[in-house]
Amino acid sequence: MNSWQLLFKRISQNWKQQFAVVKRVVDWTVLVYLVIPTIVISFFIYQSWWIQIPGWMRILPLSAIFVLFFLFLWGDHFLTYVREADRIFLRKKEKLFLGMKRGGIIYSYAFQWWSAATLCLFIAPLWFIHFDLQVGQLILFAALWVSLKWFIMAVKGKLDVELRGWRSLLRGIPLFIGAAIIWTWCYKAFINDNILMIATLIFINTIVSIWLVRSRFTSVHTFEKDLAIDELEKNKYMEIIFGLSMDMEKMPKPVPVRNSPRLYSKSNRIFKNRTPKNGFIELFIKATTRNIEYIIGYFQIMGVTSAAMVILPPIWLKVTMASLGTIFLLIWLGSVWHKVIGSHSFTKKYASEEGYFEGKKMVTTVLAIPFIIIICCSFIINIWIRNHFFFF
């Protein structure tokens, strides 16, 4: 087996693994009643865009396309498809190992071009009919986007991917600001038809990305970095899919052992009135506030729904997203309650008592109120923006 055969085998295994995870989450009922109808409806909607652009899309400025594509710049790395076992076997076969790594990086470059082509195909009706731009301009736009994405991927490959928490956030701020400045230059060069500036930006982004990734391309001594990046990418989509799954069993993440928790270190009572309902609510509050994942999940649902209320122009899309967000929040809260209270070995035997259901109802109501308030405020903000900024 040569290096390219090994690479294609690894790529195939990776896609099969991701597909297997999706199959475990999306059962046949979801596939038949939700996924397939969504694909069919989306196809006919997209086809109708080539005939007549919807009214809400006609108010979009070209800058909105650049803002949208800026959001798609993040989240990917250059992959080499190494595995933990390669530490023993393949590193002794340097030519085979290095050939596979090089092929993986070349594949990552090519895959981003395919991503750019897919995204550009999606906006093609808007690009040609609404903005009245040409194919050559779309190719230049795709080249600008993919070159900057290569640059960001190369920089991220130099950073410590195993760093988490606030340190990772602080480290990413300079990269975010730098990418925003470069993308702004790209936008100005594009609207001014400055071909020389566009070609210069594409050239610099591409050359810098190649220079930054050169050590991973030419050496086998970056194995630990390659392995960390590949493991991060392999688990990223699994964690998203597992997080959306309500029924799939998930392995608990290891947490450091502490002599006492940061919150409620002395097991302070939250409620003075000791009733079964208050007991369940108190246990839920302590369990969820001590776990940052539950807090992040709640604010993610709230943030995505409120952002959709501000960004999406047509009123029917706003109402749909608000309804779907509310339903998803209620389902998610029920899942968290069951995981924390209903399935716990010490409390599940009380799951049939009245206090259990009263506590669940109270928690759902209290947490739904801020969500509804934020959604309403987002709708008001959208109205204010439309009244003051005509291009929205």
Q: What is the pLDDT of residue 90?
A: 67
pLDDT band per the 50, 70, 90 thresholds, residue 391: very low
pLDDT band per the 50, 70, 90 thresholds, residue 190: very high
Q: What is the pLDDT of residue 155?
A: 92
Query: Of the candidates 219, 57, 182, which has an alpha carbon nearest to the alpha carbon of residue 128?
Result: 57
Mean pLDDT value of segment 136-156: 95
Alpha-carbon distance 346 to 197, whole Å?
66
pLDDT band per the 50, 70, 90 thresholds, residue 127: very high
Label each residue of 24-81 as H, E or C. HHCCHHHHHHHHHHHHHHHHHHHHHHHHCCCHHHHCCCHHHHHHHHHHCCCCCCCCCC
3-state DSSP call for residue 253?
coil
**Which H or E element spans position 384?**
helix 354-388
Mean pLDDT value of segment 178-198: 93
Q: What is the pLDDT of residue 266?
A: 56
pLDDT band per the 50, 70, 90 thresholds, residue 199: very high
Within 10 angstroms of residue 172's Cβ, the number of other Cβ atoms is 15
**Which H or E element spans position 324?**
helix 315-337
Alpha-carbon distance 89 to 86, whole Å?
5
pLDDT tens for each residue of 315-349 = 777 787 788 888 888 888 888 888 888 877 677 77
- Phi first, then psi, for residue 296 (nearest 5°) are -60, -40
pLDDT band per the 50, 70, 90 thresholds, residue 246: very low
Between 387 and 67, residue with greater pLDDT: 67
Cβ neighbours for 317, distance < 8 A, ≥ 6 positions apart: 56, 308
pLDDT tens for each residue of 285-307 = 888 887 777 888 888 888 888 87
Mean pLDDT value of segment 71-86: 88
Q: What is the pLDDT of residue 124?
A: 93
Q: In Å, what is the CA distance from 332 to each residue of 211, 246, 283, 336, 338?
A: 45, 8, 18, 6, 10
Identity of the amino acid at 152: I
pLDDT above 80 for 27: no
Mean pLDDT value of segment 247-257: 48
pLDDT band per the 50, 70, 90 thresholds, residue 31: low
pLDDT band per the 50, 70, 90 thresholds, residue 166: low
Alpha-carbon distance 203 to 184, whole Å?
16
